[in-house]
Homo-oligomer: A and B are copies of this chain.
Amino acid sequence: MLIVQKYGGSSVADTTRMENVAWRVIAARQAGHDVVVVVSARGDTTDHLMEEATQTNPNASKREIDMLLTTGEQTSCALLAMTIQGLGAPAVSLNAYQAGISATSAHTSARIKAIDCERIRTELDSGQIVVIAGFQGVNRRGDLTTLGRGGSDTTAVALAAALHADICEIYTDVNGIYSADPRIVKNAIKLPEISYFEMLELAALGANVLAKRSVGLAKKYGVKLVVRSSLNETEGTIVKEEVKMEGIFISGVAVDKDITRISISGIKDEPGVWFKVFSIMNKGNIPIDFIQQTKQDIGTKDISFTVAKNDLPDAIAALNGNTHRLGFDAISHMDGIAKLSVVSTGMATNPGVPSLMFEALFDAGINIDSISTSEIRASVLIDISEADRAANLVHEKFRNGKYIKE
């Protein structure tokens, strides 16, 4: 088998953990597999480098930020290769140039375009464990670009696709994908498997284990993913296309507290307003949710929608930059809200699934501000102070109804 393993920053944060990773990698090699390892920068390295960039020049070009950030992964892949060598196995580290990873020019948020696997295959053929710097690519000019949040997951999946790997193992500090965040919901259950679709929704709804884009990429190329812990031998969660559908399963309950509501008042009441808002947000790559509008008497309306807290500054700037086009009176925003979601591929054909969530919330007297649904998820906006209690109650309701896979 050809296995791609990905280890995050916390898994290689110090010498002891780095050795633990090295032993795992060597075990896979000794079991007769070809092993390609993708590593992130150690611990908080990326944050520290970013801090240093900001202190040096808050308006530094993104090209230079990428030049700085990519040293983090080059460092960790060299150190991991040394560690593996120290434990008696042959290893070689490759940065994006050496691993042939081509990416777009969008500095700090590039996409992988192609991977020329020749060097990697040569090293594998000569018996090496190949350790690759995650999160980075080289653009057409030969400049380093970084892949943004979750970039190393994306590197691992893209490599698995390009190398036609048998499996891509994502190692992390949790045991797999849970039916809800175990830190919030005490009866959360580790799922043995989950479909790409469900995982995509969960990832988008605040389950931080896997980056959404890496799941999308895995789906596109049919890469079989396993999410598991780097700290124990527990079997993880398999993410793949086909998941056994014995009845209707709720795959997960997700809570996202990092959202905020933007309200625009006194906007012209004419056709095309939402088209304009969507196109402005789209241009800034800012997803929106929970869209609402209220008509006023005087030919205007008030509209509101939610965005991730991270995106708030960009969203406000983009809207203010289009005052003339939109013609509004004022923009405001409000925190204190949370999004509670249930995700299941069975939902589309069974309307009873969302209603069970509403029942749980009604029983507990938790007020629903608004509702948003897609083919395989149902979300409600509630007060942030109720979020954890609501997540537990909804999870329990579905679990008692045998809707959660165990």
Contact = CB atoms under 8 A, between A and B. Distances in A.
Interface of A: 15, 18, 52-53, 55-61, 63-65, 67-68, 70-71, 74-75, 77-79, 81-83, 85-86, 92-93, 95, 97-98, 119, 138, 141-144
Contacts of A95: 67, 144
Contacts of A64: 78, 81-82, 85, 92-93
B75 A68 contact: yes
B52 A79 contact: yes
A338 B12 CA distance: 47
The copy count of this chain in the complex is: 2
Given A68-B79, A95-B144, 8 more contacts: A53-B79, A56-B86, A57-B86, A61-B81, A64-B85, A67-B78, A74-B74, A98-B143
A103 to B, nearest CB: 14
Given A93-B64, A143-B98, A56 B83 contact: yes
Interface centre among A79, A119, A142 (most CB of B within 10 A): A79
Tell me the dominant secondary structure on chain A's binding face: helix
B67 A74 contact: yes
Nearest to A81: B64
A142 B75 contact: no
Nearest to A72: B71
A83 B98 contact: no
A258 B46 CA distance: 41
B98 A86 contact: no
Nearest to A133: B67
Nearest to A71: B71
A152 to B, nearest CB: 17
19 contacts: A18-B56, A53-B78, A56-B82, A57-B82, A57-B83, A57-B86, A60-B86, A61-B82, A64-B78, A65-B78, A67-B81, A67-B95, A68-B74, A68-B75, A70-B74, A71-B75, A97-B142, A119-B141, A119-B142
A265 to B, nearest CB: 39
